[in-house]
Amino acid sequence: MSPPTLQRFDIEYRFEDIMAAVDADGAAIVERFVAEDLLERLNRQLDEKIRTTPAGSNAVGPMMAQFWGRQTKRFTRLAAFAPAFAELLDHDLMHRWAAHALTGDYWLNTGQAMIVGPGEAAQHLHRDIGIWPFMDEMGPAAPQTMVSVLIALSAFTEAVGATRVVPGSHRWADFHRAPDRAETAPAVMPAGGAVLYLGKTLHGAGANVTADTWRRGLHMSFCLGWLTPEEASPVGVSWEIARRYTPRVQRLLGYASPARAAGADPTNWLVDFEDVRRFLRADDVPGAGAASGRRRPVS
What is the average per-residue pLDDT within 213-231? Answer: 97
> How would residue 294 be classed by pLDDT, with cut points 50, 70 and 90?
very low
3-state secondary structure the chain: CCCCCCCEEECCCCHHHHHHHHHHHCEEEEECCCCHHHHHHHHHHHHHHHHHCCCCCCCCCHHHHHHHCCCEEEECCHHHHCHHHHHHHCCHHHHHHHHHHCCCCEEEEEEEEEEECCCCCCCCCECHHHHCHHHHHHHHHCCCCEEEEEEECCCECCCCCCCEECCCHHHCCCCCCCCCHHHCEECCECCCCEEEEECCCCEECCCCCCCCCCEEEEEEEEEECCCCCCCCHHHHCCHHHHCCCCHHHHHHCCCCCCCCCCCCCCCCCEECCEEHHHHCCCCCCCCCHHHHCCCCCCC
pLDDT category of residue 266 using cuts at 50, 70 and 90: very high
pLDDT score recorded for residue 282: 53
The fold of 8-231 is Jelly Rolls (2.60.120)
Cβ(281)–Cβ(298) under 8 Å? yes
Whole-angstrom Cα distance, residue 212 to residue 199?
32
pLDDT digit string, tens, across residues 85-109: 999 999 999 999 999 999 999 999 9
Whose CA is closest to 152, among 190, 105, 204?
190
pLDDT digits over 158-204, tens only? 999 999 999 999 999 999 999 988 999 999 999 999 999 999 999 99
pLDDT of residue 2: 82
Region 2-31 average pLDDT: 97
Backbone angles phi and psi of 10, in degrees to 5: -95, 155
Which residue ranges make up each domain of the chain? 8-231
- Range name among 1-10, 32-41, 285-294 with the lowest pLDDT average: 285-294
Question: Bridge partners of 126?
Answer: 203
Model pLDDT for residues 51-86, shown as the tens digit of each residue: 999 999 876 677 777 788 899 999 999 999 999 999
Residue 6, pLDDT score: 98
Is the pTM here over 0.85, yes or no? yes
Which pLDDT value is given to residue 181?
Answer: 86
